[in-house]
Chains A and B, each alone.
Chain A
Amino acid sequence: MNVQAWLARHAQTFVGSLGRIVQHPVAALMTMAVIAVALALPLLLNVFLQNSRAATANWNQAFDISVYLDKKAGGTRAQALAKQLRSRPDVAAVRVIAADEALAQFRSTSGFGTALDALRDNPLPDTLVVTPTLPASNPKGTEMLKNAIAALPDVQTVQIDSEWVERLTAMLAILRRIIWLTGALLGAGVVLVVGNTIRLDILNRRAEIEVMKLVGATDGFARRPFLYSGVWYGLGGGLLAVLLVAVAVASLAKPVERLAGLYGSQVRLNGLGFALGVAVMGVSVGLGWLGSWLAATRHIRGIEPR
């Protein structure tokens, strides 16, 4: 068999199997739709995850450490401590919030203005807001920094505002794992769906396969059109899945923008992107091929002329 004939034959089978699908458009679309839904679910979760990560990526300021000084320390002592802390290699910046400044801010935002007037003294201490350097902006680094600061004189309380960031990070890690698990399960579902469709297809064409084998067809030859059918199902399903996700992202874009606006954020919803879209179709084609290969190999072997 020469290469040209072989290629021509593959091309013909490839197009021929598409023709067969087009002859039964409703059945084929149903199969593709099932594939699309199965793939779209983990993809949407992934879009959610990626956007959540992008939105929280610049939140390392949440690792800021609030240092409340002793009431008796005074403003000069606060400035001196700030200077001392700025010289540390793991500190990026230190902001001093004087007690009076803090009180003024609290008065204007809290609505307790008149209640505060009743107090004789300012109840708030001087506060230092310490921002760790980027390399130190992790749970371990900030913990070390916190302990170092707590040991300094005139420091009353040290507080890290990072706990909820850690929780969020942990939640995103779990979500990521869930995406992989659902992805794997639904991917197996795609293989089974394609396999079952191909199995029915083979049973319908049993007589044809028998005739082929009678005139000398190998199992591989009889299997080939079914493999291509599986590839078409995968390609169609993958394309539909990408479309579904695109529609979902488009319909979410406006509400997300509004929400981001309320938080004064510029965050915009990102879709799958071209590379991932192509990858999804590749995976879908692979799953379609695998499903049809498993079904065709198994069932064509069982069909022998009588």
Chain B
Amino acid sequence: MIRFDQVHKRYPNGREALAGVSFAIDDGEMAFLTGHSGAGKSSILKLIALIERPTRGQVFVGNQNTAGIKPRGIPQFRRQIGVVFQDHKLLLDRPIADNVALPLIIAGIAKREIDKRVRAALDQVGLLGREKSRPLELSAGEQQRVGIARAIVGKPKLLIADEPTGNLDPDLALEIMRLFKRFNEVGVTVVIATHDVHLIDRFGARRIVLGDGRVAA
């Protein structure tokens, strides 16, 4: 599903985030990207979502070399990936249902179908019945679950998450991780960047440990 081949990433400010990273993640696999902050976890996720481009090396997503995707093709490409953010990036002035529906609206799905799939997605994250609430009326854990519902509503084959438990207490964090595990069990490839080593000890998933812009283990 994902393959990094000697990927370098140097930002315009001169910082070298990745210095020759190579790894591969199979279809249906669940993998944790770990390492201290600044080790390059976020950079890897940004390269997968085409928020950034590699300085050198190649990134393959879904057997497609991302170097061949032109700016014009990026929106279509991103619709195949579910992305979860540490700060969940919800639209605070819109109800939960609208937030979750956003990817489907963008993809031009018919309204009746959208309503059905939004309810299904909210059901999967345990928030059915909260469609009309606003994000700020929800707890931090619930907000993150809305973010996850938005990521999976388009039924992506690949789900990536950047420190999805970063702002949550341990119990909520564990709950969120179990949610990701459940999606992985139905065939979704899941890649989670986290520095919370204790948390991932409780999951039997693969770890890709980064250090100084390289794969350490």
- The answer to the question of B8 belonging to the interface, with a C-beta cut-off of 8 Å to chain A, is no
Q: Which of B82-110 contact A (CB under 8 A)?
A: 83, 89-91, 102-103, 105-110
User: How many residues of A are counted as interface, with CB atoms below 8 angstroms from the partner's CB atoms?
Assistant: 22
Contacts of B107 in A (CB 8 A): 1, 216
Please, how many angstroms separate the alpha-carbon atoms of A190 and B40 in the complex? 48
Stretch from B29-37, B73-81, B181-189, B202-210 contacting the other chain: B73-81
- The answer to the question of B121 belonging to the interface, with a C-beta cut-off of 8 Å to chain A, is no
Please, how many angstroms separate the alpha-carbon atoms of A9 and B51 in the complex? 27
Contacts of B91 in A (CB 8 A): 208, 211
Asked if residues A216 and B106 are in contact (CB atoms below 8 Å), the reply is yes
Contact of A214 among B76, B89, B108, B111 (CB under 8 A): B89
On whether A215 and B83 interact (CB within 8 A), knowing A208-B91, A306-B51, the answer reads yes
Please, how many angstroms separate the alpha-carbon atoms of A4 and B108 in the complex? 10
- Give chain B's interface residue range (CB within 8 Å of chain A): 20 to 34
Contacts of B75 in A (CB 8 A): 213, 216-218, 221
**Minimum CB distance partner of A6 in chain B:** B108
Contacts of B108 in A (CB 8 A): 1-2, 5-6, 9
Give the A-B contact count at a CB cut-off of 8 A: 56
Please, how many angstroms separate the alpha-carbon atoms of A100 and B150 in the complex? 102
Contacts of A208 in B (CB 8 A): 91
Contact of A217 among B89, B90, B106, B150 (CB under 8 A): B106
**Minimum CB distance partner of A23 in chain B:** B93
- The answer to the question of B49 belonging to the interface, with a C-beta cut-off of 8 Å to chain A, is yes
- The answer to the question of A150 belonging to the interface, with a C-beta cut-off of 8 Å to chain B, is no
Contacts of A4 in B (CB 8 A): 110
The A interface, classified by DSSP as helix, strand, loop or mixed, is: helix
Asked if residues B110 and A216 are in contact (CB atoms below 8 Å), the reply is no
Please, how many angstroms separate the alpha-carbon atoms of A252 and B47 in the complex? 68
CB distance from A204 to the nearest CB of B (A): 11
**Minimum CB distance partner of A208 in chain B:** B91
Contacts of B102 in A (CB 8 A): 211-212, 215
Contacts of B90 in A (CB 8 A): 211
CB distance from B49 to the nearest CB of A (A): 7
Contacts of A214 in B (CB 8 A): 49, 51, 78, 83, 89
On whether A9 and B76 interact (CB within 8 A), knowing A211-B91, A215-B150, the answer reads no
- The answer to the question of A25 belonging to the interface, with a C-beta cut-off of 8 Å to chain B, is no
Please, how many angstroms separate the alpha-carbon atoms of A9 and B78 in the complex? 21
- The answer to the question of A255 belonging to the interface, with a C-beta cut-off of 8 Å to chain B, is no
**Minimum CB distance partner of B72 in chain A:** A218
**Minimum CB distance partner of B88 in chain A:** A211
- The answer to the question of A119 belonging to the interface, with a C-beta cut-off of 8 Å to chain B, is no
Q: Which of A203-249 contact B (CB under 8 A)?
A: 207-208, 210-218, 221
**Minimum CB distance partner of B94 in chain A:** A208
12 A-B interface contacts by CB (under 8 A)? A4-B110, A5-B111, A9-B108, A207-B89, A208-B91, A211-B90, A213-B78, A214-B78, A215-B102, A216-B79, A218-B75, A304-B51
The 6 A-B pairs with the shortest beta carbon distances in the complex, nearest first, are A1-B108, A216-B79, A216-B78, A5-B110, A215-B103, A218-B75
